[in-house]
A and B are shown apart, each in its own frame.
Chain A
Amino acid sequence: MAQDEFNPRILGFLCNWCCYAAADAAGVSRYQYPPNLRTIRIMCTGRLDPAFVFRGFAEGADGIFTGG
């Protein structure tokens, strides 16, 4: 079964002021979530050039998460 399990690699772009802060707060409150996300902090999701999303997929991401 284990080999069939989909274990996606997700790349996240998090706004410093909201989503990144929320992700910190999730930690402080010890909420548990799957360890599939790798994050990049940006100062605002306005910074998210669509090219970053394409590059993320090109680098092997199974999904891109943005939070802002």
Chain B
Amino acid sequence: MSNTDFLGLDGKPGNFTARLRIRPRYIDADKCTACGMCTQYCPRHLVDEYNEGLALTRPIHIDYPQAVPASYFIDPEACLHLKHGTCKICVPVCQTRAIDFDQQPEEVELKVGAAVMAPGFGRIPDTALEQYNYGAHPDVVTSLEFERMLCASGPFEGELRRFSDRRHPRNLAFIQCVGSRDLGCDNGYCSSVCCMYAIKEAMVAKEHEPELEITIYYMDMRTQGKGFDAARARAEAMGIKFVRARVADVMPWEDRLKLTYATMDGGHYFEAYDMVVLSVGLDSPADAAGLADRAGFELNHYDFCRTSTFAPLQTSKEGVLVAGAFQGPKDIPESVTQSSAAAGLVSALAKKDRGKGYVVKDYPEEQQLADDEEIRIGVFVCHCGVNIAGVVDVPNVDQYVEGMEGVVYHAQSLYSCSQDAQEVLKQKIKEHNLNRVVMAACSPRTHEPLFQETLKDAGLNRCLFEMVNIRDQCSWVHANEPKAATDKSKDLVRMGIAKARHIKPLPEQTVPVIDKAMVIGGGVAGMTAALSLAEQGFATALVEKEGQLGGHLKDARYTMHGEPVEKTLKDLVARVKKNKNIEVLTDTELVQLNGYVGNFSSQLKSRKGKGGETTVDHGIVVVATGGREHRPEKVLGSPVDYSAKVITQNELEQRLSGKAKNRAPNSVVMVQCAGSRGDDLAYCSKNCCNNAVKNALKIKEINPESQVVVLYRDLRTYGYAEDAYRQAREKGVLFVPYSMETKPGLTTGGKTPKVSFYDPILRDDVELKPDLLVLSTGIVPEDTQELSRLLRVPINEDKFYLEAHVKLRPVELPVAGVYVCGLAHSPQPVEEIVVQAQAAAAKAAIPLVKGYVSVEPTVSTVDQSLCIGCGLCESLCPYQAIRMFKDDNNKRKAETVTASCKGCGICAAHCPVFAISMGGFTDEQITAQIEAFGA
């Protein structure tokens, strides 16, 4: 429901009534073919908000090509007809008669069990940007504007020019933390994403303009996400400069901009730039207060949604959940993870209504084709109004296929996708006894399912269909070359017909799913995932190697917000043990995993007694094997002798929550990135800065006189943790930066630890002999090397599991039916672990809810009579979708695990004896297309 406002939520959890107002779009979305003719004729200009006001559009428009629904709409505030009762030029222009000025706003009520709030983020107010001359000088732009400027499909096609004189800039500067970490605009938090997007934009700009010199002015480079530090290193290797400084102002200077900045050592400098990009943060959504009021939940002090560490998606109102940046500023993977998790939580709430309200569609019985059946192809050439026919000579293309081998019928249609055209298609299939259909129209990516549905309605197998793209990839891209476009259409149609002669009906396959889940790892991630699956109604085996549940959360004592950890953990363990759907298997480990999505079989071995083995059959598996605190032997080049005075951050937390009198001594030095970020481990562990700040505050709470010094590289208290960082500084905790060029020296063997470091403010070396030296040592994953071999899933160079897609499929592994969450995925704080576990459970529940896995007909099949058992295909398959087995004659043969196959065809392209065939893309079919290309 797009173009819809949320008016209010009444009732109780499980039985809400949501009130909505659907605003008129003045276009019937079902009739609109997104041809764009209306925009071409609309006489009025409108500032294009999607392109950040850098381009013009028209009141009747679509925001961007991938918009959903793919339908245009009219901006009522700008339309001449809706404003002044004139114009209406668009009405006769629209060939599908989709424009409807009679549409009225409509209020609807929806019965819902739960609601998810996902309004995203808002804009940083202009006042926060004006101090950098934004708005006054054309060459000061925001990062959002810069993103559109760089975009290849944006208003300037990615060509970077200054607005003032259209000249290509020679150098430019990024200013970080604009509207973030800034009490001046009441945004004390860190927006978490700007450092990374600035690096990305800088790299893209450099790709577009290799000569461009780029400098990023920052306070702390907060690239704490998985793989982000590596991206920063790549940016540096490309020549992008990083300068740690605060920018005081940006002033016009001849035809350039003068940037004044102060560095950490108190030095003041200035530099001239052709352009300045402001890395703007994420603000709370404009109507956050209104939304909270209408739905009845509370906001936090920054007007984002208030949640808690152990229930990160639960708003203050039961049955109302939150997901995405509204919960707190965050990047794409975390937003995607949260949305999955929210869906899973809703699925548990709405469990009793699952499966209700479905209507199952009936199809006529499928016509069986004999192998030697005469090929009867029907070719349909679409005009798409003037979209195709305005360029391509459609009658000519239609006539061209006359007499081609196998073609028994051909016709043109005005709009092939219209409802009446489907009826005509069905009728012609019957009338001419067609058993192959070639549709020359738009893109199979958008319209193939529609036509295939019509084939099924006509009793034909849906694979007896071939689509030829003469709109998106022909008439639209050769608009000024009608002759050439017509020739191209003819060639493409000829190639499509050649393929169609070889297409075959393919079976609709489904693979049943065993109605049970297995979760490996009984820490907070595993328990949360198991509980979420159980609450969604699925039997779950929770396998834990150790004797008891809890994992490393047992070692934690308190959160940054003061929430008690021990009680929460105890409650979680109790809930897991009490849940009838969960079978807890402690002292147990996985020794073997066979099978594929829907049909796994695991060998489990007890670590107690005689070590008996059991087999568990299950449909999916969630990997939540966690990680542990790293204990490097060397830190920053100095060997470490751990003792009562040289401890890790985790040990400090336990000490501080104990009863010892001297638990918070008078002098404490903390060393961040001890063994991380290239010191021993290559990566940032995301938690250590938060923990250091949390524990420093605890020390100050217990012993306000204590002198706490934190030596750090970049302090990464992203999100709301920035508040705690600020409090710590207010309470007198000293934060002293170091770099890998000025590493602190540690002496730990003796009675008292010694730390020497360079203080950039004193501009001198300092030596301290603290009562306590605390090392922030990072996190390493637990046993991933061994388990990844059992599961046949990849791990990255840091030994964390490698997800199927970093941004869009963050909790799925490349092998179907295997999901990951928690520290096995990447280092992250407990709040993010909880969400990730809920997300993995939500994704894993999809096949369990359906009860089967649908297999696309494009999967591979192995002709075992040809297979020589070389195993090349098995070793190349990225999805573990081919396995070797011994046939009746004890010969090694390959077979496709259809439920796991994604249809990529790597196996078919490499099989040395051509034994593998791809559904709908056989060697025969592709070869026929190539030969028709040459004909």
Contact = CB atoms under 8 A, between A and B. Distances in A.
Interface of A: 9, 11, 16, 20-21, 23-33, 35, 37-44, 46-50, 52, 55-56, 58-61
A46 B491 contact: no
A47 B484 CA distance: 29
A55 B927 contact: yes
8 smallest CB-CB distances across A and B, nearest first, come from: A59-B934, A47-B905, A27-B472, A46-B906, A44-B904, A28-B65, A27-B476, A35-B484
Interface string B894-935: 000000001111101100000000100101001101110110
A17 to B, nearest CB: 9
Contacts of A33: 477-478
A61 B484 CA distance: 17
B476 A30 contact: yes
Nearest to A30: B476
Interface string B447-473: 000000000000000000000010111
Contacts of A23: 472-473
Given A16-B445, A20-B445, A29 B485 contact: no
Interface centre among A16, A21, A42 (most CB of B within 10 A): A42
Nearest to A16: B445
Contact of B492 (A38, A42, A59): A38
Nearest to B856: A43
A38 B923 contact: no
B66 interface: yes
Given A27-B477, A30-B477, A42-B926, A56 B933 contact: yes
Contacts of A20: 443, 445
A38 B488 contact: yes
Nearest to B476: A27
B480 interface: yes
Contacts of A60: 933-934
B391 to A, nearest CB: 10
Contact of B472 (A28, A42, A43, A59): A28
Given A29-B153, A31-B477, A47-B905, A41 B444 contact: yes
A2 to B, nearest CB: 13
A35 B909 contact: no
Interface centre among B65, B484, B918, B931 (most CB of A within 10 A): B65
B472 A30 contact: no
A58 to B, nearest CB: 8
B60 to A, nearest CB: 16
Contacts of A40: 495, 926, 929-930, 933
26 contacts: A24-B443, A24-B446, A26-B472, A27-B443, A27-B476, A28-B472, A29-B153, A30-B479, A32-B477, A32-B480, A33-B478, A35-B481, A38-B495, A39-B473, A40-B929, A40-B933, A43-B903, A43-B905, A44-B904, A44-B905, A46-B905, A47-B906, A52-B930, A58-B934, A59-B930, A61-B934
Contacts of B906: 44, 46-47
Nearest to A13: B926
B488 A24 contact: no
A35 to B, nearest CB: 4
A11 B930 contact: yes
Contact of B933 (A38, A46, A50): A38
Interface centre among A20, A32, A39, A47 (most CB of B within 10 A): A47
B445 A21 contact: yes
B625 interface: no
Interface in B217-233: none
Determine the interface band of chain B, counting residues with CB < 8 A from chain A.
Answer: 35 or more
A21 B375 CA distance: 31
Interface string B57-96: 0000000011000000000000000000000000000000
Nearest to B908: A47
A25 B477 contact: no
B340 interface: no
Contacts of B930: 11, 40, 52, 55-56, 59
B300 to A, nearest CB: 39
Contacts of B476: 27-28, 30
Contacts of A26: 472-473, 477
B265 interface: no
A61 B921 contact: no
B487 interface: yes
B176 interface: no
Contacts of B905: 42-44, 46-47
B36 to A, nearest CB: 8
B672 interface: no
Contacts of B435: none
A25 to B, nearest CB: 6
B858 A43 contact: yes
A21 B65 CA distance: 12
B904 to A, nearest CB: 4
A67 B680 CA distance: 40
Nearest to A42: B921
Contacts of A41: 444
Contact of B471 (A27, A32, A43, A47): A27
Given A24-B446, A38-B488, A49-B926, 16 more contacts: A11-B933, A16-B445, A23-B473, A24-B445, A27-B471, A27-B477, A28-B65, A32-B478, A33-B478, A39-B469, A42-B921, A46-B904, A47-B904, A47-B918, A58-B934, A59-B930
Contacts of A50: 909
B480 to A, nearest CB: 7
A47 B907 CA distance: 8
A23 B470 CA distance: 12
B445 A43 contact: no
B905 to A, nearest CB: 3
A47 B926 CA distance: 10
B765 to A, nearest CB: 54
A6 to B, nearest CB: 15
A43 B36 CA distance: 29
A27 B473 contact: yes
Interface centre among A37, A40, A52 (most CB of B within 10 A): A40
Given A24-B472, A47-B906, A35 B478 contact: yes
Contacts of A59: 930-931, 933-934
Nearest to B911: A49
A31 to B, nearest CB: 6
Contacts of A21: 445
